[in-house]
Every structure is written in C-alpha cells, then in structure tokens.
C-alpha cells in the first residue's frame, strides 16, 4: 500500500476525531491559546531509548527551550515499534501544547507506509525541523577499502558478498544503503538487526557483517576509539564528526534517492496556531544560538531550522522519494 493510499484511509478515520473536537466546549479553545503559554511544564516524548542520537539531540533542544519559554521541558523516553509507539502517542495527545515529541522523518513518512497498523502520517502533526544527520558507512579498521569508491570497486568484483548491517529492513538506514547500492552499481547484501542501530554497528565489530549503515552520533565513540573507520558519507556534504570522509559527489555517485535523517519537534495537529507560532519562534532562536549549534554539531548533527510549513513541504518531498525506493524494493511492503 502506497503512502497516498494510507493518507486517504487516515483521512476517513480522521473525520470522527475532528467531529469529537468540534463538540468540545468553546471555552476550552480559549484556554488553549498562547496568551499564557506555557503556564506549566512541557513534556517531550522521545520514541527511542535514552543515550541514543535522537535522545541526545532532543535533550539538547529541551534544555535550550527551557531558557526561552520560561518553563521546564521534561524528556520522557517511550520506545517501541522502531519509534512509532512514542510518535503515535503524540498524534493522539491532547492538543494543548504541553505534550510534544521528537521524531525523525522515517517515523513520520516511511514507517506509516510499510507498517499496516500505524494510524498516523506526518499530516497528523505540526512539525518544526531543527537538525539533520547524514548516514555514513562504517567498516572494521582492517577492511580492504578505505572510502566509498574503493568499496564500490570491491562490491562489483564480488556481487552480493559484502553485507551491510542496518537497524532493520525498511529502516531509513536500510533504504539509504539500498539506494547507495542502486545509484553506485554496487551489489550489497542487506542484513537487518531488530535491536537497532547499535546492534548493526556491533555486528561489524564481531565480523558478522562487513559494513553498517549508521550515523556519526551512533558510531562516533567506536571511530574515535579506533574500532571502526568511516568509509564515506551518503550525502554531498561533509558530516560533522567525520572530517575528510569521502562524499557521494567525490565518489561520483548520484544522491537522487539517498536521503539523510531529519529530526523534528512534533506537535499534535490541532494545537492552536498561536501556540505553534510560539514554539516556532523558540526553536528558531535556539537553532540560531552558537552554544546550541556547537553542542549539536559536536554530537554529529547539522543544525537546520524549518518552520511548520517548510517541514510539511520537505516531508511531502521525502514521501515521494521513499515511494520511489519502495517501488523497486517491493519485498519491503509485502509485495504490494
């Protein structure tokens, strides 16, 4: 089932939710305005466990938002479903601006397309982009290739023999690696690990796979400790924390269907516009702050602010790219 079909289905079920909201007392709408927002603590749900890249970026954002909003911003971790459980919680949250979340683009676009029981899409949120991170391919230090170009040459000599660990079939890491193989002509074998990004990286250390499609925030410690090396960045720009790593352009590979991972502050769809505007202003100020930029860049992220309108446009574009990839990888959607 394509993303457009899922959005149509959600549109039908959404009628009931809208009707329920319309029956709420009008006084409640006034109480939800931004005149005194925020008047109490704000909770941000991270759909992954503590200590991971998304969690660390979310905590940096929360700390900086506290200074600008004048209220405590508390992080709550709710794992499950590859990030979809925590994301679904925010889609169903009371639209008053006090229950927010952080999600990556694949939670909002890709997973609703390949997971039949997910009852939301990115259109069920107001989204504010604040950072992004390109994927990197890592290998053991003694691997017989040191950059993307050498990897491509090796893969062409032994098609299907070089295995790439990912956090699971259909994850954004997985699709980035698949797209890299398609665009470069390298025949790589995908190996999904249900334990997440760290399990895929650990599989390189154990020799179970030759490569892992990951990000600098996940691999940084192992790279700095000399246990892994970064072969290249699956983007046309250098990644923070991976200086000198070969880019797609340098390896003569098109980036037409290779996406990075974007991180968003997600807000329930029916939160009042003035509350959304307050949050947009606060996030814009945070991402303009040098201290925040340095901190997040040090984690391996690129600070990149997008207001809710720009975020919706970006996710619409990403949906089309993911649809294109899924069309040529039908097994990821059960052959649909």
State how beta strands 211-215 and 42-46 pair.
Answer: unpaired
Report pLDDT for 34. Answer: 55
Q: How far apart are the C-alpha atoms of 91 and 121, rounded to whole Å?
A: 9
Top-confidence residue, 16 or 32? 32
Average pLDDT over residues 207-232: 95
Which CA distances in Å does 280 have to 13, 100, 179, 216?
29, 13, 33, 27
Check pLDDT > 90 for residue 98. Answer: yes
Check pLDDT > 90 for residue 249. Answer: yes
List pLDDT tens digits, range 42-86: 999 999 888 778 888 999 999 999 999 999 999 999 988 888 899
Which CA distances in Å does 210 have to 5, 205, 267, 300?
37, 9, 39, 23
Check pLDDT > 90 for residue 325. Answer: no
Q: How far apart are the C-alpha atoms of 299 and 220, rounded to whole Å?
A: 8
Check pLDDT > 90 for residue 317. Answer: yes
Residue among 242, 39, 227 at smallest CA distance from 135:
242
Q: How far apart are the C-alpha atoms of 230 and 215, rounded to whole Å?
A: 10
Full set of structural domains in the chain with CATH: 3-133+260-333 (3.40.190.150), 135-233 (3.40.190.10)
pLDDT band at 324 (very low <50, low <70, confident <90, very high): confident
């Amino acid at each position: 089932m394509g993303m457009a079909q899922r959005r149509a289905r959600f549109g039908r079920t959404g009628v009931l939710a809208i009707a329920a909201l319309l029956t709420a007392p009008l006084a409640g709408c006034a109480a939800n305005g931004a005149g005194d927002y925020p008047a109490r603590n704000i909770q941000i749900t991270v759909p992954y466990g503590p200590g991971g890249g998304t969690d660390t970026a979310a905590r940096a954002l929360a700390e900086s938002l506290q200074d600008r909003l004048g209220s405590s911003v508390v992080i709550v971790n709710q794992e499950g479903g590859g990030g979809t459980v925590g994301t679904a919680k925010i889609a169903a949250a009371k639209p008053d601006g006090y229950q927010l979340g952080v999600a990556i683009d694949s939670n909002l676009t890709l997973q609703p397309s390949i997971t039949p029981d997910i009852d939301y899409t990115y259109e069920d949120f107001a989204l504010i982009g604040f950072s992004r991170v390109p994927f990197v391919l890592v290998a053991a230090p003694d691997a017989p290739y040191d950059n993307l170009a050498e990897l491509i040459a090796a893969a062409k000599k032994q098609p299907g023999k070089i295995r790439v660990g990912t956090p699971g079939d259909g994850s954004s890491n997985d699709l980035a690696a698949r797209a890299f193989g398609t665009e470069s002509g390298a025949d790589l074998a995908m190996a999904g690990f249900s334990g997440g990004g760290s399990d895929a990286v650990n599989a390189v250390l154990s020799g179970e796979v030759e490569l892992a499609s990951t990000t600098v925030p996940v691999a940084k410690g192992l790279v700095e400790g000399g246990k892994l090396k970064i072969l290249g960045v699956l983007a046309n720009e250098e990644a923070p924390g991976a200086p000198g790593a070969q880019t797609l352009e340098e390896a003569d590979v098109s980036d037409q269907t290779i996406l990075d991972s974007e991180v968003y502050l997600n807000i329930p769809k029916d939160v009042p516009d003035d509350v959304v505007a307050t949050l947009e202003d606060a996030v814009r100020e945070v991402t303009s702050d040098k201290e925040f930029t340095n901190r997040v860049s040090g984690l391996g992220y690129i600070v990149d602010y997008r207001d809710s309108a720009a975020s919706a446009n970006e996710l619409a574009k990403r949906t089309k790219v993911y649809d294109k990839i899924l069309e040529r990888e039908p097994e990821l959607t059960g052959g649909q």
